[in-house]
Amino acid sequence: MKKQLTRLAAIFLAVLATISTTAKERPLTQLPYAASTYQPYPFPQNELPKLTPSPKGYRPFHIEHYGRHGSRWLIGDDRYSLPVKQLEIAERNNALTPLGKETLAELRQWLDDSYKRDGELTQVGAEQHRGVARRMASNFPQAFAPGTQIDARSTLIIRCILSMLNAMTEIKSIYPDLNFRSDASDADVYYMKNPNSTPERKDAMKKAKKALKKFNTNHPVSGDWLNKVISNKKLITDSIDVENLTEKTYDIAVNSASHGTRSKLIDLFSPEEKDRLWERRNAYWFHYAGNSKISDNLAPFSQANLLRNIIESADTAMTSPRQSVNLRYGHDSVVLPLTVLMELDDYGKEVNKFNDVAYEWNAAEIFPMACNIQMIFYRKKDTVNPDDVLVKVLLNEHEARLPIKTDTFPYYKWNDMKKYYLDKLASKGYTEYHK
């Protein structure tokens, strides 16, 4: 019996050792990933890869695109004011450390500078879209031949409209002999921005929101950084909204990159605090867009209308011998679920526990400011046969893998791609537009 117990103990210890060595571990998430949706474009900086040449005889003739607006000011009346008001509580109680006084001074400067600039595009954001447009025109010159029809649309938000205009201006400076049309209309909002929400999806998202709330409760914001700026710990406990102050101060810090600067506020936060803030935000965006039983696998279908619009627009373009480009400018809340819905690279993978999301899925890889999806269509010269059309997809200008078989990666047969996506939409009941 004693030998059996000894053997069992040895087995138990071996199992523990195995668990400890195979348990999921990941490095702390540092900037720019830790900036989540506020990181600037491109990422990694200036490391865009060379594109694979097209198969022999094929040339680009059409582009479908959706891009997020460029870098912007923060959105919300209290984004800049709340941190100031909170630290002024400590100031009135003579509880600010020297670093705290410096912090409050910088926050006041951000508040002053942001006056009446809620969510506005910055100069950095404008330059981002000029760069994306310039590279698009340079990478696929055959699609921008004289006479090409450029059709650009934007949501009604001014930062999106200005992003569109900056991109159009850049293309026109390179190819002035094109036909340009731009529009920003409420008539297009049903596929450009609004979530496609059936009753089933609405119920699923409510369920996911409850699960996210539980996750956040178990992963609270520590607020340790406040000990560097406020000397009175009791004041922090009794009078400071730690979570709100932490998140909004951090937002100001990381979004400083939207202005081409690096705020000293970033240095207030330890690597562990940055990681926790990223983890919570990553979980939020997964609940919003990820493929998971938590949301009955319906979250990414918010962009069913947009995917259908892209398919129909591309099919229309194939009936014409003329080159054409359809550009759309909107939001991260669209690019992210569209990426998941299209299953680009590995972002459509199913993850069913919030505790696993940080190890399996990173929204920050998908949606920096000015993030974009480009679909480049190829056909042989002097043909308009849709059965012979190839397409490749770029996610932030990187060639993406699709959930479709091909012998010519990154090129896929359009008919195969179209069938896959239409079948996928139909499998969840999205057989038509939901306005």
The domain ranges of the chain are 41-71+121-201+287-427, 76-118+225-269
Q: How confident is the model at residue 133 (pLDDT cuts 50, 70, 90)?
A: very high
Over residues 111-134, mean pLDDT: 97
CATH homologous superfamily of 41-71+121-201+287-427:
Phosphoglycerate mutase-like (3.40.50.1240)
Measure the CA–CA gap between 175 and 156, rounded to whole angstroms: 27
Burial (CB count within 10 angstroms: exposed 0-12, middle 13-18, buried 19+), residue 239: middle
Q: Following DSSP, what letter does each residue of 238-300 receive, concatenated? A: HH--HHHHHHHHHHHHHGGGGGT---GGGGGS-HHHHHHHHHHHHHHHHHHH-B-GGGTT-GG
Q: Cβ of 44: how many Cβ atoms within 10 Å?
A: 7
Which 8-state DSSP code applies to residue 179? E
Q: How confident is the model at residue 101 (pLDDT cuts 50, 70, 90)?
A: very high
Which 8-state DSSP code applies to residue 397? T
pLDDT at 2 (0 to 100): 42
Over residues 166-178, mean pLDDT: 96
Geometric angle at alpha carbon 74, from 68 and 80, rounded to 5°: 175
pLDDT at 46 (0 to 100): 66
Q: What is the pLDDT of residues 218-243, one digit of tens each?
A: 999 999 999 999 999 999 999 999 99
- Cis before 42 (ω within 30): yes
Q: Is 354 or 30 the better-scoring residue by pLDDT?
A: 354
pLDDT at 43 (0 to 100): 67
| Least confident window among 145-149, 326-330, 391-395 | 145-149
Whether residue 118 is predicted with pLDDT greater than 60 in this model: the reply is yes
pLDDT at 1 (0 to 100): 45
Closest CA to 376 of 362, 366, 388, 391: 391
Over residues 59-77, mean pLDDT: 97
Q: For residue 294, how many C-alpha atoms fall within 13 Å in the half-sphere facing its CB?
A: 28
Contact 392, 412 (CB under 8 A): yes
Residue 13: CB partners within 8 Å, gap ≥ 6?
none
Q: How confident is the model at residue 150 (pLDDT cuts 50, 70, 90)?
A: very high
